[in-house]
Structure 1
Amino acid sequence: MAGETHTETGTEAPALEGVPLLGSLFDLKSDSLGTYLRAQQRHGDVVRITAGPPGLRAELYCVFSAEGAQQVLASESANFRKDNAFYQEVRDSFGNGLLTSQDEDYLRQRRLVQPLFTKRRVDGYADAVAAETRAVIAGWEQAPGGVVDVGEEMMRLALRAVARILFGTDVEATVDVVDRCFPVITDYVLRRGYSPANIPRTWPTPGNKRVAAAMDELYTACDKIIAERRSGAAARGEDLLSLLAAATSSDDGEFDAAELRDQVLIFLLAGHETTATSLAFSLHLLARHPEQQARAREEISRVLGDRTPQAADLDRLPYLTQVLKEAMRLYPAAPVIGRSSVAATEVGGRTIPAGSDVILAPWVTHRHPRYWPDPDRFDPDRFTPEAEAGRPRYAWFPFGGGPRACIGQHFSMLESVIALAMILRAYEFEAVDTDIPVSAGITLRVNGPTRCRVRGATGEAVS
């Protein structure tokens, strides 16, 4: 039953072996995703991992099964909150928007924002995505040696697309600021979020000064555009910021300027790195699998011909959508999800004590052999309707789930399918880099080049 907790029959979760005094601290710092995989393979679906010296030690309860993920995110979601240190660092840097807010703050924000993310409203952004994709495609005609780094290129595309949809005509000014400031702030969040102890942000250290300057520049740029919208100096249009500024209800009022900035920053954070990751790995996986690439390109050509894809085409491109979903299985943009337990709870026959840090890992669940035979193999046919119907709902959860599921998931799928269709119609791909190291950041981080050689539709290499 939703909200019910069980402690009577649960047993203690097995612990992953670590080193004396520090546990798995160094393993988590050097390769957290590999550490979580190893924990599941050795000890099952609920595993306890300790990290750090006595007095500063963290104890993580890792839940790897689809059924456990559903319990944490959906059926008992009220018992698992975003109260951990990592979310607090994100909150302190990017504001109290939809990703980080809780309780009545979250419910009020969700009620105000939800009407802006209906399918009809989101489908209206298809032309903006197509325009930004067209610009990227044109730029590749001059790629030196016909080689492009799809990781870098998709990050640029996704940032420009979400900035255009958020800010409309103010896209150019904001893209440069975000591109310059976000890496400084996200690296800072990661260092502090995973550290057992932190100095106050107000201390005048070089790192604190550097991130304070980046936050000030980012906040100032957003505040300027917001002030223009609210004052009427800039005409309100159909961009998302204008709609957010106009959002109101008799029960929830409206967003003030600071709340608007929080929402904008969270949408920028969650809306470009995640989609960029999915796009980049879709292209790179197809570059390494020519047969699947040919099948996707044939579908695109048959369905679209020479016309620009529209939102209605998503249902007409089932194989391309399967490619995207399989890329998101192997490389989920949010590879790790954290929560904190309120009350003691039984998950998978193991007891998770009250106040515990709880880790869900799509990176691991998406590779769980119970749901995914030969889990490391790229196979888009895992996502036919028949195959999906035969798996638990939370065997695949790149957008989270339950009442805190990503509000932008339809937009992400729309953007990704449209962009992939246009790119694959224009170019064939051959992988240059075949081993792509990744790690867990706020989103999945690529730690090396993701280069592909591209050939135009005629089969000739671009130059």
Structure 2
Amino acid sequence: MAVGTNSGADTGKAVPGPAGTPLLGSLLDLKSDSLGTYLRARHQHGDLVRITAGPPGMRAELYCVFSPAGVQQVLASDAARFRKDNHFYQEVRESIGNGLLTSQDEDYLRQRRLVQPLFTRRRVDGYAEAIAAETASVVSAWGEARDGIVDVSDEMTHLALRAVARILFGTDVEAAAGVVAGCFPVITDYVLRRGYSPVNVPRAWPTPGNRRAAAAMDELYGVCDGIIAARRRGGAGTGAGAPGEDLLTLLAAAKSSDDGEFDAAELRDQVLIFLLAGHETTATSLCFALHLLARHPGEQDRAREEISRVLGGRTPGAADLDRLPYLTQVLKEAMRLYPAAPVIGRKAVAATRIGEHTVPAGADVILAPWVTHRDPAYWPEPDRFDPGRFTPEAEAGRPRYAWFPFGGGPRACIGQHFSMLESVIALAMILRAYAFEAVDTEVPVAAGITLKTNGPARCRIRRLDNPQGVSA
């Protein structure tokens, strides 16, 4: 397959796909199990599949691109032809703002230029101490776990939220974390319902769902606006990196002669996106890394041996990221099997040939890391947990986009290094302190804005004879 072939010439070949039902197409399958529907579509119809969903007159056509080469076209080589103009992203914009995740064109370029200096490796490495402190607090609290059982989904969500709130807000973490934890689930559920519905009532109508979401947004916005106003008055926070250098303080100070600076509304949009993307994605990766290790004691022992050998009793820091290669492989394999963004959407703005078929202008395009990460051509026995897939030699032998949990191309996730740093530090401290055994051997999942567990992910924990493991 040629990468970067952007001729829209009709190949004459109809894009294959499931027939669905005459009335609703594949709508019910997508609603009940979208990830399974995409997997079956790829297995039965190939690397480019057309799925129809909805009643006649309101029917959506989804062009699903599953091959690494096709993903590379959409995200990188032909990225200008595939925009974030679909209905789902519009719902995210209206609820969580026009930050880096949702903005486009000059807005996006300006935001990226202002934010990029705050996400250099050196700057992000300065947050290692805050990550370790929050991890130590969670690990210490597990000593009181009832029956020695913890739900790693809930616990890692709590840890990731505390860590990103501390790094964003510094000493204002207590004011923000509780509100975020209470409001974000209401808002993201609202976005999902509207984003996947072909018809919605106006947001201004006083329906119960609209009113609940509006109240949650008002509360969340109010807390963020209050902290931002304090920063604008010169009240710098502390607690992440050097004193006064929490991320919000740095965002408020970001400016350039060409791009100006963020106003208060723009600052809030960036903060909301960082809160969402910075905690839900990392929480997913940590949850499933721990749960997979709990089900695979040999790999758990190997990871713990590396941690002990490299760290001894000291607290991990940023420099240890490169010294823990097997732990990093564990994390990458968890992100392969359970990518935090299991589905990525785009809108085709020009007809584009991908392989033997043409994606028409105006089409809704679906990329699914959940599916591409299970392509047996690149991942033998794709459902098997095997951190050895991510040795340097193995990675060099695969296409770039056979694994893309952080997206790719010009809109690749700006927080990739932060996520890896937080995850490796947290896993190292947790595994040094506790051994894990899975209670729930299977954890059902579903695609939301991020990957969601549809049930508990409980593990039985056993405190190891290692008092250093719970101190930062």
Regarding TM over 0.5, the answer is yes
Within the candidate set 334, 337, 340, 1:330 is matched to 337
Q: Which residue of 1 aligns with 2:470?
A: none
Task: Tell me the distance in 2 between the aligned counterparts of 1:251 and 1:36.
Answer: 44
The 5-angstrom pairing of residues 181-200 of structure 1 reads 181-200=183-202
Q: Tell me if structure 1 keeps the 8 A contact 2:125–2:318.
A: yes
Task: Tell me the distance in 2 between the aligned counterparts of 1:240 and 1:12.
Answer: 50
Task: Tell me the distance in 1 between the aligned counterparts of 2:348 and 2:460.
Answer: 47
Residue identity in the other structure for 1:415 = E
The 5-angstrom pairing of residues 302-341 of structure 1 reads 302-341=309-348
Within the candidate set 442, 446, 452, 1:439 is matched to 446
Q: Which residue of 2 aligns with 1:110?
A: 112
Q: Which residue of 2 aligns with 1:139?
A: 141
Q: Tell me if structure 1 keeps the 8 A contact 2:6–2:353.
A: no
Q: Which residue of 2 aligns with 1:401?
A: 408
Residue identity in the other structure for 2:72 = Q
The 5-angstrom pairing of residues 98-177 of structure 1 reads 98-177=100-179
Deviations 1:418-452 (A, max 9, x none): 00000000000000001100000000010000000
Change (3 A) 1:147 1:195: same
Change (3 A) 1:434 1:235: closer
Task: Tell me the distance in 2 between the aligned counterparts of 1:350 and 1:266.
Answer: 35
Residue identity in the other structure for 1:432 = V
Q: CA deviation at 1:303?
A: 0.3
Q: Tell me if structure 2 keeps the 8 A contact 1:3–1:79.
A: no
Q: CA deviation at 1:456?
A: 1.1
Question: How many residues align structurally?
Answer: 460
Task: Tell me the distance in 2 between the aligned counterparts of 1:149 and 1:397.
Answer: 27
Within the candidate set 258, 261, 265, 1:254 is matched to 261
The 5-angstrom pairing of residues 407-446 of structure 1 reads 407-446=414-453
Deviates more, 1:341-350 or 1:9-18: 9-18
Name the SS for the 1:277 alignment partner. helix
Give TM-score scaled by structure 1 length: 0.98
Q: Which residue of 1 aligns with 2:14?
A: 12
Task: Tell me the distance in 1 between the aligned counterparts of 2:192 and 2:356.
Answer: 32
Task: Tell me the distance in 2 between the aligned counterparts of 1:161 and 1:431.
Answer: 25
Name the SS for the 1:195 alignment partner. coil
Q: Which residue of 1 aligns with 2:299?
A: 292
Q: Tell me if structure 2 keeps the 8 A contact 1:344–1:352.
A: yes
Task: Tell me the distance in 2 between the aligned counterparts of 1:123 and 1:96.
Answer: 27
Q: Which residue of 1 aligns with 2:274?
A: 267
Q: CA deviation at 1:139?
A: 0.4
Q: Tell me if structure 2 keeps the 8 A contact 1:337–1:359.
A: yes
Q: Tell me if structure 1 keeps the 8 A contact 2:186–2:216.
A: yes
2:80 is the alignment partner of 1:73:
no
Within the candidate set 222, 225, 228, 2:224 is matched to 222
Deviations 1:397-419 (A, max 9, x none): 00000000000000000000000
Task: Tell me the distance in 2 between the aligned counterparts of 1:418 and 1:15.
Answer: 43
Q: Tell me if structure 2 keeps the 8 A contact 1:83–1:339.
A: yes
Q: CA deviation at 1:238?
A: 0.5
Q: Tell me if structure 1 keeps the 8 A contact 2:8–2:360.
A: no
Task: Tell me the distance in 1 between the aligned counterparts of 2:247 and 2:7.
Answer: 40
Q: CA deviation at 1:6?
A: 3.9
Within the candidate set 365, 368, 372, 1:365 is matched to 372
Task: Tell me the distance in 2 between the aligned counterparts of 1:7 and 1:405.
Answer: 29
Aligned Cα root-mean-square deviation (Å): 1.3
Within the candidate set 205, 208, 211, 2:210 is matched to 208
Task: Tell me the distance in 1 between the aligned counterparts of 2:345 and 2:6.
Answer: 20
Residue identity in the other structure for 1:300 = I
Residue identity in the other structure for 1:57 = R
Q: Which residue of 1 aligns with 2:38?
A: 36
2:455 is the alignment partner of 1:448:
yes
Within the candidate set 377, 383, 387, 2:390 is matched to 383
Name the SS for the 1:388 alignment partner. helix
Q: Which runs of 5+ in 2 are unaligned?
A: 239-243, 468-472
Q: Tell me if structure 1 keeps the 8 A contact 2:11–2:356.
A: yes
Q: CA deviation at 1:271?
A: 0.5
Q: Tell me if structure 2 keeps the 8 A contact 1:333–1:444.
A: yes
Within the candidate set 278, 281, 288, 1:281 is matched to 288
Task: Tell me the distance in 2 between the aligned counterparts of 1:459 and 1:378.
Answer: 28
Name the SS for the 1:190 alignment partner. helix
Q: CA deviation at 1:17?
A: 2.3
Q: CA deviation at 1:2?
A: 5.1
Q: Tell me if structure 2 keeps the 8 A contact 1:437–1:447.
A: yes
Change (3 A) 1:120 1:3: farther
Q: Tell me if structure 1 keeps the 8 A contact 2:132–2:425.
A: yes
Q: CA deviation at 1:15?
A: 1.8
Task: Tell me the distance in 2 between the aligned counterparts of 1:358 and 1:416.
Answer: 30
Residue identity in the other structure for 2:311 = L
Q: Tell me if structure 1 keeps the 8 A contact 2:236–2:245.
A: no
Q: Tell me if structure 2 keeps the 8 A contact 1:13–1:47.
A: yes
Q: Tell me if structure 2 keeps the 8 A contact 1:3–1:78.
A: no
Q: Tell me if structure 2 keeps the 8 A contact 1:165–1:239.
A: yes
Change (3 A) 1:291 1:177: same
Q: Tell me if structure 2 keeps the 8 A contact 1:428–1:459.
A: no
Deviations 1:298-321 (A, max 9, x none): 000000000000111011100000
